[in-house]
Amino acid sequence: MTIKIISVNKNNFIEWRKSIRRVFGDIPKDEDVKRLARDRMMNPISEWKSNNNRLIAAIDEDTERIVGTGGADKLEITIPGGKPIDMAGIAYMGTAPTHKRKGIFSSMMRKLHDQATDRGDALAGLWASQSLLYSRFGYGLATYREDWEIYSHNTKINKKASDDIKLEFVDKDKALIEIPKIYDQFRKNQNGFTDKSEGYWKYLLHEDEKSKYNKSGMSGFFFVICYKNEKPSGYIFYNIKKESGVAHEDDKGELIVQEQIALDTDSNIALWNFIFGVELIEKVYINRRAPSDPLYFLLENPRKLERNTIDGLWVRIIDIKKLLESREYNYKGKIIIELKGQNQPDIEGIYELETDGKISEVKKVKSKPDVIMRPSDLSSCYFGAVSAYELFQAGNIEFNRNNLIKDFSNMFSVTKKPWCNTDF
Ligand SMILES: CC(C)(COP(=O)(O)OP(=O)(O)OC[C@H]1O[C@@H](n2cnc3c(N)ncnc32)[C@H](O)[C@@H]1OP(=O)(O)O)[C@@H](O)C(=O)NCCC(=O)NCCS
């Protein structure tokens, strides 16, 4: 069996998409595959550019069929200190069950990392279907993801909304104009947030015409924009799930917040007051929040917020010099870091990092390292969700210089913890 890796083109796009969905156990309709290309990738299949090599397929040369899929979306992510850097958003990874454990996934990952290097991306990032899959390739946990279930009947927001705030329901056309602008302002100041293209918003807010008008079960989207002193300052969009079509207090209604973003404290308080004020609702759900979210401290009875915490965004270093020189640190001085142990020759080696906190310089050196760690552990420390001390306690980091543990942990710490709410 010989496998070759090729770029996805207009002739194999539908087969490619169906191959991915098969490994996740579903069969997409052709029209949904076309929508993916047109909206999310902003590149209709009929006009697919032959030089678009961000999507790849592994082909079994015996059958000429696709047996593996992968790709890298073009993303920008905000790093500690506030700079945006280019990130390869790795997604669509799958190997046909008929061709498992023959190294197809590993070769596709290598190819995607090589392509990211050629493009000049500093980082690769992904959301993992299984948490054991990616550290072998140098990925570390960059953000935690919390999914919440709130018994909104039994608690409320402990602060009133300010009179400076106004809330307005808008239709989807206006939402598609206003929400991306507010999101973009927010993400530029939030460590770990990625951009969302115009097409991605369209894809995200797509609704099936049948389910949009459901009277029972899950409703269509409701969009609310928040204004502080007349300026857009936050939003939510949500669905309501109820058993009967009439809405009744015995219905045990559920409000599913798809996204809530606020640019300031007053807008955050007002939006949560709004959510808790929606009547005939017993529970509120919201996914992909950060463990550092202030909502817990805004609840009268905080234990009514149940949190399920799992891994969120995973990242891998692509250009170590660019990456380490771009962020800010809580440290002034020089540290020599050796990265080794995961067979990732493009990033393993010894690096000297010298910084005054804001401006940093990274050089490849041959000196004795102060710190030895795996590439995945440095990736984990980078955004500040995981401290070097935790990794040291797990036996993943070795220190050769006295008293460096504290400095090294502080060096990567951040005031505003990272959050990523886009599962791409
Ligand atoms: C996960 C998946 C992509 C692996 O594909 P594959 O081509 O069989 O993987 P490879 O043969 O390249 O294996 C790479 C390594 O990962 C390990 N591995 C792969 N899948 C694994 C799994 N489910 N559990 C544990 N280890 C796994 C292999 O043992 C191998 O380890 P090694 O490098 O130490 O030898 C494939 O099983 C799949 O499509 N699963 C369902 C979809 C999915 O979860 N996709 C990932 C989306 S984030």
What is the tens place of the pLDDT at every residue in 291-303? 999 999 999 999 9
Q: How far apart are CA 124 and CA 323, in angstroms?
A: 11
Tell me whether residue 299 is in a domain.
yes
Tell me whether residue 256 is in a domain.
yes
Q: What is the pLDDT of residue 251?
A: 73
Give me the residue label for tokens 């220190």.
399
* pLDDT exceeds cutoff 90 at 327: yes
Q: What is the pLDDT of residue 1?
A: 87
Residues 172 and 272 in one domain: yes
418 within 8 A of 191, measured Cβ to Cβ: yes
Q: Is the C-beta atom of 246 inside 6 A of ligand 1?
A: no
Tokens describing residue 142: 């960059």
Distance 336 CA to ligand 1 centre (A): 33
Name every residue whose Cβ is closer than 8 Å to that of residue 190 and which is 6 or more positions away in sequence.
78, 416, 418, 419
Tell me whether residue 424 is in a domain.
no
Residues 116 and 167 in one domain: no
Tell me whether residue 422 is in a domain.
no
Nearest alpha carbon to residue 80 among 189, 176, 223, 240: 189
Nearest alpha carbon to residue 109 among 86, 130, 139: 139
Residues 218 and 338 in one domain: no
Residues 102 and 24 in one domain: yes
What CATH number does residue 385 fall under?
Answer: 3.30.1050.10
294 within 8 A of 157, measured Cβ to Cβ: no
190 within 8 A of 416, measured Cβ to Cβ: yes
Q: Is the C-beta atom of 106 inside 6 A of ligand 1?
A: yes
Range from 209-213, 245-249, 402-406 carrying the lowest mean pLDDT: 245-249
Nearest alpha carbon to residue 88 among 389, 313, 400, 401: 313
Residues 289 and 366 in one domain: no
76 within 8 A of 84, measured Cβ to Cβ: yes
Model confidence at 269, in pLDDT bands (50, 70, 90)? very high
Residues 161 and 53 in one domain: no
Residues 57 and 111 in one domain: yes
Mutate to test the pocket of ligand 1, among 100, 109, 145 (most ligand atoms within 8 A of CB): 100
**Which of the listed residues 276, 309, 342 is the one where a domain comes to its end?**
309
**Which of the listed residues 262, 278, 309 is the one where a domain comes to its end?**
309
* pLDDT exceeds cutoff 80 at 247: no
Residues 300 and 334 in one domain: no
* End-to-end Cα separation, the chain, in angstroms: 32
pLDDT average, residue stretch 399-405: 91
Tell me whether residue 324 is in a domain.
yes
Tokens describing residue 288: 């992909």
The per-residue pLDDT for range 19-61, each reduced to its tens digit, is 999 999 999 999 999 999 999 988 899 888 755 679 999 999 9
Q: How far apart are CA 284 and CA 272, in angstroms?
A: 11
Distance 35 CA to ligand 1 centre (A): 28
Tokens describing residue 44: 């209709």
* Helix residue ranges per DSSP H, 37-192: 104-119, 172-187
Residues 289 and 326 in one domain: no
What CATH number does residue 70 fall under?
Answer: 3.40.630.30
Pairing of strands 84-95, 123-127: parallel
Amino acid identity, residue 131? S
Q: Is the C-beta atom of 131 inside 6 A of ligand 1?
A: no
364-386 burial, b at 16+ Cβ within 10 Å, e below that, comes to eeeeebbbbbbbbbbbbbbbbbb
182 within 8 A of 235, measured Cβ to Cβ: yes
* pLDDT exceeds cutoff 80 at 7: yes
170 within 8 A of 327, measured Cβ to Cβ: no
The per-residue pLDDT for range 162-209, each reduced to its tens digit, is 999 999 999 999 999 999 999 999 999 999 999 999 999 999 999 988
Tell me whether residue 393 is in a domain.
yes
Q: What is the pLDDT of residue 216?
A: 85
Residues 257 and 203 in one domain: yes
Name every residue whose Cβ is closer than 8 Å to that of residue 176 and which is 6 or more positions away in sequence.
201, 202, 205
Atom of ligand 1 nearest to the CA of 109: 12
The protein residue with its alpha carbon nearest to ligand 1, atom 27, reads 133
Range of 304's domain?
146-309
Indicate the number of domains in the chain. Answer: 3
- With a pLDDT cut of 70, the percent of the chain lying above it is 99
Tell me whether residue 342 is in a domain.
yes
**Which of the listed residues 274, 294, 309 is the one where a domain comes to its end?**
309
pLDDT average, residue stretch 259-270: 98
Residues 88 and 18 in one domain: yes
Amino acid identity, residue 12? N
- Partner residues linked to 127 by β-bridges: 313
Name every residue whose Cβ is closer than 8 Å to that of residue 79 and which is 6 or more positions away in sequence.
85, 191, 326, 327, 382, 383
Q: How far apart are CA 256 and CA 32, in angstroms?
A: 24
Residues 285 and 379 in one domain: no
* Residue 420 CB coordination number (10 Å): 27
Nearest alpha carbon to residue 260 among 207, 223, 308: 223
Distance 133 CA to ligand 1 centre (A): 6
* C-alpha 343, offset from chain centre: 26
Atom of ligand 1 nearest to the CA of 104: 7
190 within 8 A of 292, measured Cβ to Cβ: no
Atom of ligand 1 nearest to the CA of 130: 44
269-282 burial, b at 16+ Cβ within 10 Å, e below that, comes to bbbbbbbbeeeebb
Tell me whether residue 153 is in a domain.
yes
Q: How far apart are CA 378 and CA 124, in angstroms?
A: 13
Distance 134 CA to ligand 1 centre (A): 9
Pairing of strands 144-150, 281-289: antiparallel
